[in-house]
Structure 1
Amino acid sequence: MNMLVHPKDALFAGERVFPALAACEHFAGSEKLIGKAMDLQVEYGSVFDITCDCEDGAASGQEREHAVMVARMINSDQNKAGKAGARIHDPAHPAWREDVDIIVGHAGNRLAYITIPKATNAGQVAEVIAYIGETERKAGIARKVPVHVLIETHGALRDVFAIAALPHIEVLDFGLMDFVSGHHGAIPAVAMRSPGQFEHVLLARAKAEVVAAALANGIVPAHNVCLSLKDPAVVASDARRARREFGFLRMWSIYPAQIQPIVDAMRPDFGEVTDAATILLAAQDANWGPIQYKGELHDRATYRYFWAVLEKARVTGMALPDEAERRFFAG
């Protein structure tokens, strides 16, 4: 019997591997809230990442102390899932380099990612990425810390394809609130909520550009927050529209009650997951040649699609058929 070839080797040989990231990114700005989020990761099964927030979390004049706390929490035993990143201050703020020095320098081996907010052009993002790399080298950190970039200014949107092409980026985040504020009243406040945030032409255009730039460069597009903190139906509706109408594969949470509705809404359809597993198992048995399934022809093009379905199902906590789990994800 031929050795079974894994989908990643058969379908994506020589290509950059698309990041298989959690569908929810939860922001927490204090030691108490970061700790609570880490405990929830254990309870929920690591279906979301945590962004330890320096930009909005640090009190003015306490930036250094806040960064030290973030590094300590990331290094702590409470961070059992190892899926905690950090949002640093923006490139115009005097504290951003110190954020990098402390968080990367002291927690770089466990830091899941760094998020760069409010960049105004690709050059600014490149400067921060270069400084992160320099800090990694000085600290003796062999790995490259993944970078997430918030697209929330006119300049960042103008340069979004250039930003997405920079090294070490795995996520482009859309920042709705600052983007709306940057239009000086031309976009009404009602567009910060649904349905306006999906229907206003300037916002629909911006979201589509972010998703297109991210996917064209093999990185994950992440959707902005929902302002409704405790109504799961509203949160889930926003997540579904972001996923189905615009192609976002990840969404922010700013309150614990938002996490599960986002994860549930971002999950693939159960029937499609079952089809994906059946098709990929048969394709692997056929050494990735064409097969027929339910009267339809499938080949490498559809196999790549169905592999993405399986990966998304797994990171959202869905149970896969036992044989698919054993062949594709064991170990």
Structure 2
Amino acid sequence: MTGSAVPPPPGRRRCVLSVPAGDARKVAKALGSAADELVLDLEDAVAVGDKDAARELLVATLHDLEPRRAPILTVRVNAPGSPWCHADLLALAVLPRPPATVVVPKVESAGDLAFVDRLLAGAEAGRAAVVPMTVQALIETAAGLERVQEIARSSPRLVSLVLGYADLAASLGMTAPAPDRLDLWLPAQQALLVAARAAGIQAIDGPHLGVGVDEHFARDVGRARDLGFDGKWAIHPAQLEPITAAFTPSGSEVAAAREVLDTLARAAVAGAGAAQLHGQMLDEAVAAAARRVLARSAGDPAEDGA
């Protein structure tokens, strides 16, 4: 990364909508969605023969797009080692207003992110006052899952890990679980969560493998929230509202989180080595949990210290 520039703090990603980057109609419609983040997909959603055309269309769209606050715009580039990854990254990095972040699919080692970091750093080096693009790593192979802790700590640009179910199932040789057996994904979910939390970055659950909004979808979303994920991907607009609602803290949860942080702040000003609240000892782990609650709240994450 060039100079002393550092990436901005990660934004709120309660609900992330993925759309094909090569479909101008879907992109235009998605820009007005209620998702926290919009992923414009140059990888799985684009056929091999259409990669260059989709990139050109996306670059033209982003070049003409007015600055916007929400949803966060990101691009899912093609995987490292593919014929298109470097071209995707360079085309995005030289835009007058590059996307806030890129999703890198099929990350299998720290070396994959080192390649991305060097390429972006070189593209950014000749530009004045550029805000470095951040990176999200999509973990969707056996090799990536095995090395997820190494990957989570490998780049200062990295702001989140995302679990990709369809490709991971194929990589593991796993029969796609029935809707009532999604508990089979628990080991992979916990591995990614532990790695993300230990590295201090976000953990985002991949999409429910279906476009319906039924009881199986609701259980899938609820389990991801209860496990501790910061948000979840969606593949259909009908899924946005229930995902966002599930990952938005209640008013009482927000109030409790603010009370924790206020209590710790007063203790620090007073020079106290520890603080208590309602009989509970407060420490950095409790503070980190409180900050995650505020980052997912309906208020401005920047104002909440996210």
Q: 164-173 or 230-239: which moved more? A: 230-239
Shift of 1:100: 1.1
TM-score (norm 1): 0.78
Which residue type is aligned with residue 12 of structure 2? Answer: L
1:96 corresponds to = 85
2:29 equivalent to 1:32 = no
Shift of 1:74: 2.6
CA distance in 2, matches of 1:299, 1:222: 25
2:296 equivalent to 1:309 = no
2:187 equivalent to 1:205 = yes
CA distance in 2, matches of 1:319, 1:234: 31
Unpaired runs of 5+ in structure 2? 1-6
CA distance in 1, matches of 2:293, 2:74: 25
Per-residue CA deviation, residues 20-72 of structure 1 (Å, 9 max, x unaligned), is 422111111122112111112xxx3xx51011110023333232221122223
1:23 to 9, 14, 25: 14
2:103 corresponds to = 115
Shift of 1:80: 2.4
Shift of 1:124: 2.4
CA distance in 2, matches of 1:130, 1:307: 31
1:264 corresponds to = 245
TM-score (norm 2): 0.84
Percent identity (aligned): 23
Contact 1:38 1:79 in 2 (8 A): no
Shift of 1:312: 2.0
1:196 corresponds to = 181
CA distance in 2, matches of 1:79, 1:137: 23
Contact 2:13 2:232 in 1 (8 A): no
CA distance in 2, matches of 1:101, 1:139: 13
SS at the partner of 2:78?
A: coil
2:168 corresponds to = 179
Q: 95-104 or 133-142: which moved more? A: 133-142
Unpaired runs of 5+ in structure 1? 1-15
1:273 to 231, 254, 278: 254
Pairing 1:118-157 to 2, within 5 Å after superposition: 118-138=106-126, 142-157=130-145
Shift of 1:112: 1.4
2:212 to 221, 230, 240: 230
1:11 corresponds to = none
1:250 corresponds to = 231
Relative distance call for 1:231 and 1:139 in structure 2 (3 A) is same
Per-residue CA deviation, residues 285-308 of structure 1 (Å, 9 max, x unaligned), is 553755654455546653443233
Which residue type is aligned with residue 196 of structure 1? Answer: R
CA distance in 2, matches of 1:66, 1:88: 11
CA distance in 2, matches of 1:263, 1:285: 33
Aligned length: 292
CA distance in 2, matches of 1:125, 1:296: 40
CA distance in 1, matches of 2:102, 2:66: 19
SS at the partner of 1:62?
A: helix
Per-residue CA deviation, residues 167-214 of structure 1 (Å, 9 max, x unaligned), is 211111111110111123xx222x1x53423x22xx322221111111
Per-residue CA deviation, residues 207-249 of structure 1 (Å, 9 max, x unaligned), is 211111111111111111112323155433212201213x221
SS at the partner of 1:262?
A: helix
Per-residue CA deviation, residues 109-133 of structure 1 (Å, 9 max, x unaligned), is 3411111112333322321222122
Contact 1:23 1:263 in 2 (8 A): yes
CA distance in 1, matches of 2:190, 2:93: 32
Which residue type is aligned with residue 103 of structure 1? Answer: L
**Greater helix percent: which structure?**
1
Contact 2:291 2:304 in 1 (8 A): no
